[in-house]
Structure formats: structure tokens, C-alpha cells
Amino acid sequence: MDFKKIRAALILIIFMAIVVGSFIGAQIALKKDKHLLSDSQIHEKIYEKVQERTAVLTNFYTYGKAININGQISNVSKDNFENVKVLLTNGNGVEREIVINYAIRDKILYFSTDNNLNRGIVLDDLPNGSYYLILRLKMNNSVNAKYYAIVGSNKEPIEYYTVTKDGLNRKATISEKTFLAPNKSEIGYLSIVLEDSALPEDTYDIVIDPAHGGKDYGETYGGVNEAKEVLVYGEKLKEALEARGYKVKLTRDKSNTDSFTTTDMYDPDGRISIACKSKAKLMISLHMNNDKISTLSGLEIYGPSKSNMDFARALANEIVNSTSLDYSNNNSFKISNGVYVRTFTNKIIADYAAGAKSKGFEPYNINVDTPYSYTIREVGGVATNAYVDGRNTQYHKNDYYDSRQGLECYEIQMGYLKTNKDILLNEVDSIVEAIANGISNNY
């Protein structure tokens, strides 16, 4: 038996198989590409069934990882109404139904994405590509649902960058566009385009805010200075998160902390402005609590109103399970173990209005859903009803109070100085690791 000839024949067979396989694969790829539609074909496919009447987009904004929309459509009778949906589609096989809220008043149907600001259309979950929003309306006197283009808020585009994952990022460009329909009419639409992109130099994933600083010591007890201690936590947390692949910004460090006061957080180089400039998705503000009279103790994580708090719960559980800290025994504003949401009450709103009047400026626009903590409220922009707009001259105007790109912010009150001082001073590394793990496992 001539093994050399057999070996040569086998090599030739394998080579031919590879060539044939490559040819067949290329043909399959070509056939698949033939089914991909051009932009004009996608427009025609999506909008060929829409009505001439349109739904009006009144606003769109991002908060954390999500984009949220508000809109309305006229001539909808409450008695005849059956259901309404918003569809997100790429016109080429991907279609998702978006959870929305709606109300009908005076034959106008008002709609918006989910009340949970951080659970609108989650951009990081979408594959690359171009997406369009369509309103689907079903009336009782109609056999089939009707579809409407969502057009026209005349807002500037938003550029959003996804959270770094495995060292990679993508850019979402959210803008209003138009195209010329076959009947020569111009149709507007909200466009969301996702594509691979490096993170710009001035853009971050996460902001860490070590509270207070400079002349603002924060809480003090038993020789402990809150501002000094949370800076140690902040610098260590930055390192821990960077080791996990995130790009992190500190609102203060040893280079700028001495200049801070109790009223400069909205200055161009203040903590709020630094955070908002970062274009980050998440902000963690670090605090230590104090209660010199009673026996309050334990961890409290404060989050924004109208938000899903699953992340805050997971973060609280991680810290308590990994350190000697326990959930706080404070029941005010508590929604679950270790998780709190504080908003303005009618009494506080009235007191604020009276105080503004006595100082000669118009009261801020506050309601009972407005987050009480400024670190949560003012970095959220329009999503969280930020209101520091310069009318109170004691503070610089928050240049981002009406921003449509909001940071999802949580305040971590790590414990009470009177009752938890030893834990807070001796378990810094454990607490930092727990916070970092809670973020990386859940955000």
C-alpha cells in the first residue's frame, strides 16, 4: 500500500472540500445580503401602512441607560378606545413592543414610556442598526389596528454612549429625521442609530461623588469628618471600578477638594457641573449619616422617584451580605430593606415658597414627585425635575437643569457616625469592594 499516494489524495480531497465549502458559504452570504433592504425600501415598508394623521412627539430624553419619550395624538374617543402600543422596529425583522403609559383627555391621547425613568427603551440592550418608532392604535369600531408616524418635537439630537463592556462601546445617535414618501409628502420620524464607537475622551461610564469637601465638612462626630472619609472611599471605589473595566470620573479629589463650599456645587467647576459634563450613565454619591440623639444605624441607599429600584435593592443586599453593616432601622422614606425614596411634601413645598418670597425670588417649580436630594435631582435634568435655574442668586445656575441627558443617581448613606463609626473606619476596603461588585453585577 502506497501511503504517500493515499496521503496526497486525502489532502487533495480536504482542499477541494474547503474550496467548495467557501464557495457555498459565499453564495449563502450573497443570498442573505440580497434580502437586506435599503433605507428607502425600509422607509417604504414601515410607513406604507401609516395614516396621514400623525402622533406628535413632544419630548425625548435619556436617563441612565434608557431613552424616554412623551407624545400625543388627537381625535381619540375614550368610549371607543381599545388599546395603544408603541413599536420599535428596524424594518428588517427586529420589532419590539415598548411599555407605555397613556391617558385620554378631551379626545387627546397622551402617551409616554414606562413611569420607571430607568426602564424606558434601554439602549444598551439594542443590537447595532437603525430603529424607528411607530404608534399602533386600536379602536373598538375598527377591525384592524392603525399605525401612525411619531413626529415633531424639534429637539436637538442626543449622542449616547453605552456602558463599557469588555473594553468596547457603542454610540447611539437619537435624532429627528425626515424622508420623502412615494406620494412626495415629507414624513418625519425619530431615528435611533447604534454603531460601534470608541468612548470620547470627555465621556465616562460612572461618576463617583464623594460628598461635601473643602469648607463643607458634612457630618462630624467623635473626631470623624464625613467629607474627609468619603473622599478615601471615593478614590478607592474609582480604582476598584476601573479594575473592572469602567471609565470613572470623580467629582472631587485632592486637586480640587479644598476650594469647595456649601453653595458652589452648581458653579462651572462644582460637583454637579463636573458630573453632568461627564455624560456618564450612573452616579454614586457617597455619604456618612449622623443622628446624635437617637439610635439610628445602618445602610440607606436613596434613589430617584418614578424609578425602578431593583438596582438599589441589589446594591444594598450586596453591601449588607459582604460587610458588618446592616440595613438601617430608619423607617422614614423607606420602600424596602436599605432602600429609600425621599421627595418633597406639600408642607416643604409651601415652606420653600414662603422662603423664596421672603428673599425676593420666584419659588422653584417643585411637586410631590420631585426628588428631595439635590445630588439625585440636579444631575437628572428634565427626567428628575431639576430646578436650580438661577432665580435664587445664592447659587449659580445649574447649567444642566434642563438637560435631556440625565445621570441615574443614587446616594449611599453608608452608615451613622454615632453607631457605625468603627465599621465605617475599619472596613473601608470591604465596603468599597461590595459597592463595586454591586455595580458590576447589576449595571
Q: What tens digit of pLDDT does each residue of 233-261 get?
A: 999 999 999 999 999 999 999 888 888 88
Chain centroid to Cα 266, Å, comes to 21
184/217 same-domain check: no
CB 161 within 8 A of CB 196: no
| 220 in the same domain as 144 | no
Question: What is the chain's mean pLDDT, rounded?
Answer: 90
Q: What is the pLDDT of residue 3?
A: 47
Tell whether 414 and 324 lie within a shared domain: yes
Query: Which band of pLDDT confidence, cut at 50, 70 and 90, is reported for residue 34?
Result: very low
Across the range 106-118, mean pLDDT stands at 94
122 is written with which cell numbers? 434601554
* Cα(192)–Cα(32) distance, integer angstroms: 24
Q: Is the pLDDT of residue 151 over 80?
A: yes
Output the pLDDT for position 120. 92
Q: What is the pLDDT of residue 421?
A: 96
Residue predicted with more confidence, 157 or 40 = 157
Asked if the model's pLDDT at residue 411 lies above 50, the reply is yes
- What percent of the chain stands above pLDDT 90? 76
What's the confidence (pLDDT) of residue 185? 74
Q: How confident is the model at residue 31 (pLDDT cuts 50, 70, 90)?
A: very low
Is the domain of 223 the same as that of 298? yes
**Do 237 and 148 belong together in one domain?**
no
Domain count, the chain: 2
Residues with Cβ < 8 Å from 354, sequence gap 6 or more? none
Same domain for 189 and 212, yes or no, is no
In this structure, the answer to whether residues 221 and 189 fall within a common structural domain is no
Confidence band, pLDDT 50/70/90 cuts, at residue 184: low
Strands 129-139 and 186-196: antiparallel
Q: Which of 161, 196, 231 is the last residue of a domain?
A: 196
Q: Is residue 31 included in any domain, yes or no? A: no
The pLDDT value recorded for residue 442 is 96
**In terms of Cα–Cα distance, which of 201, 215, 208, 213 is closest to 251?**
208
φ, ψ (nearest 5 deg) of residue 210: -75, 110
Tell me, yes or no, whether 143 and 288 share the same domain.
no
Asked if residue 434 belongs to a domain, the reply is yes
- The answer on 422 and 306 residing in a single domain is yes
**Contact status, residue 53 vs residue 150, Cβ threshold 8 Å:** no
3-class SS at 289?
Answer: strand
Asked if 440 and 165 touch (Cβ cutoff 8 Å), the reply is no
pLDDT tier, 335 (very low <50, low <70, confident <90, very high otherwise) = very high
Q: Is 230 contained in some domain?
A: yes
Lowest mean pLDDT across 104-113, 255-264, 386-395: 255-264
- Domain range holding 105? 40-196
Provide mean pLDDT across the span 161-175.
Answer: 97
